[in-house]
Chain A
Amino acid sequence: MKYLIIGNSAAAIGAAEAIRKNDKGNPVIIISDEPHRVYSRPLISYLLAGLVTEDRMYYRDENFYKDNNIETIFDKRVTGVDVKKRQALLEDKKRIDYDRLLIATGGTPFVPPIKGKERKNVYTFTKWKDAENIIKLTTTPPFTKEGRGGIKKAVVIGAGMIGIKAVEGLHAVGVDVTVVELASEVLSRALDKDASRIVQRRMEDAGIEVITSNEVIEITGRGDLASGVVLRDKKKIKCDLVIIAIGVIPNTGFLKESGIKINRGIVVDEKMETNIKGVYAAGDVAEALNIITGEKMPIPIWPLAQRQGAIAGDNMSGGDSVYKGGFPMNSIEFPGVPTISMGITDPRGEGYESFIKNDSANGNYKRIILKDNKIVGAILVGDDIDRAGILTGLIKEQTPVTAFKDKLLDRNFGFVHLPKDLRKEKLEKMV
């Protein structure tokens, strides 16, 4: 039995660890197109901001692969998978055999066909390399009192999670940032309008220019160097750096001819197995169940990637685990406004019930969205996020909240508000 894992992030590591729980001996190979041992991609904004040092980027310690007897092939791109011969093809034409394959290649930044996107100083922002490049620019002399590098002005295209992260990182090192968002609000997919406005106002208070309902149609420049952008309304913004952070799409390009079924992402069953026996997919690349909507879709978030990976790994190595599904959730703090959102945050259609506590003057907002007396979504902005996880639990377990729904918005909402039996079940039994 030979296990091959393409990818080296949350899902890949989750899988490798799960495999090693069941199977200590057989070879496990991890292939990554990056030169690094496993690190945390979400931390690249922290790296950019100078909040973490490089040694804190790593998700597992130095000896992880050795301790787990995992073979690694780094800095090599997989160009295809031959499911008949059970081989993965590398860019250097090498072929790697496998008996069980996990595709955990994550997402790849979506770059729309903007004129001038190939100019230098235009980056995406998902990998260590991206952060590294940008850090180089921001730290290139001359140093100034305000900032620490040559880059003074950046335009970030997209105000979703990644865009905001990029803004956060750049802002922290003193770069003047303008963010341009097509939707009418920042974080429009994670928050509702009211919550978005709180975040947006805080961003603006911090000196970030936020342009919404607009888009960059051209990246202009001198030579091959970007020096500005042109917006749809012809407005021009000068800048030394452009970051395209519109979103990520499943990284499935190399599988085109493999016969592995791909919809929006790689189609998997509840065991994370694809249509090809022995081939599994997990993480941002896979299209798994959203338990709230009942649809299958890629939900590119870390916790689900980890879990899907672990489930795939277990099933690959003889286990019998089922992925019960997940739902989107995110935690982001910018700037100083902690924000957690989960599930359906901007309900459209019939049958939803919302409980809202809007204290936007103080930057606090809480909204809980129910359907059929079950929580399907929540937005928490501001100081009252500490017990957000309880809501996550209630969503996950689809707990009917009829008996205590009037308490959901309470700052002190907790187990004491649950029916006694449920509370005792949760707190007095082993989990």
Chain B
Amino acid sequence: MKIVYPKEEVCMACRLCEVACITEHSRSKDTIKAYKKEKPAPLSRTLVEEIFPGLSVSVNCRHCSDAPCIEACITGAMHRKPDGRVVVNEYKCVGCWMCVMACPFGAIKRNQYKIEGQGARGKGQGLKIKLSSKCDLCPDRSIPACVEACPNRVMAYEERN
């Protein structure tokens, strides 16, 4: 299946892929609002690893054919779509971080925030939401946001063997 492959030789560590990812996964899909306004702040599902200067690479989910995260998920939240994408069902995810532990690419992020609401212990607690967040290959787009945003064609969205 088509996934996003980075090419480190031309990655310049600008991190615009992260900005694009955050924007795409925001509610407003507006970069400024996504960063400055939205609570919870949307997370980037791609991570630019860097040894400064001179080496950087954007790492995101490989949508492994034999996905350890799906195996490790205790709730069934992590699942594979018929098109092959490995995605999180946010309603089912409880944030146990088993997938974080299992993913050999370190490509799953812990998404934690508080919402107004009542926890089991009573009033005024605010409910702490814990969710795994990961690359979903931007289902609303034909090309993932990171790929499109990359100014140096680092990210290839293609099928490889």
Contacts and interface: CB of A to CB of B under 8 A. Distances in A.
Instruction: Using C-beta atoms within 8 Å of the partner chain, give the interface range for chain B.
Output: 35 or more
B94 A51 contact: yes
Contacts of B64: 431
A255 interface: no
Nearest to B112: A338
10 contacts: A56-B75, A172-B120, A303-B71, A385-B100, A389-B106, A392-B102, A393-B103, A393-B105, A427-B59, A428-B7
B101 interface: yes
B18 to A, nearest CB: 14
Given A58-B76, A303-B72, A389 B56 contact: no
Contacts of A260: none
Interface of B: 3, 5-8, 47, 49-51, 55-57, 59, 62, 64-66, 68, 71-72, 74-76, 91-92, 94-110, 119-122, 130, 159-161
A341 to B, nearest CB: 9
A46 B108 CA distance: 22
Nearest to B56: A416
A60 B75 CA distance: 8
Contacts of A392: 68, 101-104
A115 B3 CA distance: 59
B158 to A, nearest CB: 10
Given A412-B49, A416-B56, A417-B51, A306 B71 contact: yes
Most buried by B among A49, A396, A414: A414
B59 A340 contact: no
A50 to B, nearest CB: 3
A52 B94 contact: yes
Interface in A45-101: 46, 49-52, 56, 58-60
Nearest to B4: A427
A348 interface: no
A396 B6 CA distance: 24
A389 B105 contact: yes
Nearest to B47: A414
A417 B74 CA distance: 31
A423 B101 contact: no
Contacts of A173: 120-121
A303 B49 contact: no
A415 B76 contact: no
A56 B92 CA distance: 6
Contacts of A148: 120
B121 A333 contact: no
A416 B55 contact: yes
Contact of A340 (B62, B101, B161): B101
B97 A338 contact: yes
A421 to B, nearest CB: 12
B66 to A, nearest CB: 8
A388 interface: yes
Contacts of A49: 120
A151 interface: no
A424 interface: yes
A430 B103 CA distance: 15
Contacts of B101: 329-331, 340, 342, 385, 388-389, 392
A109 interface: no
A107 to B, nearest CB: 15
Given A56-B94, A338-B110, A427-B59, 13 more contacts: A14-B71, A40-B75, A43-B94, A60-B76, A174-B121, A331-B98, A386-B100, A389-B99, A389-B106, A389-B107, A390-B105, A412-B50, A416-B56
A297 B14 CA distance: 48
Contacts of B94: 43, 46, 51-52, 56
Nearest to A173: B120
Contacts of B95: 333
A302 interface: yes
Interface string A330-367: 11010000101010000000000000000000000000
A24 to B, nearest CB: 16
A136 interface: no
A174 B101 CA distance: 30
B17 to A, nearest CB: 14
B49 A424 contact: no
A277 interface: no
Interface string A1-18: 000000000100010000
Nearest to B127: A51
Interface in A159-180: 172-174
Interface string A30-46: 00000000001011001
A417 B161 CA distance: 25
Interface in A312-330: 329-330
A172 B121 contact: yes
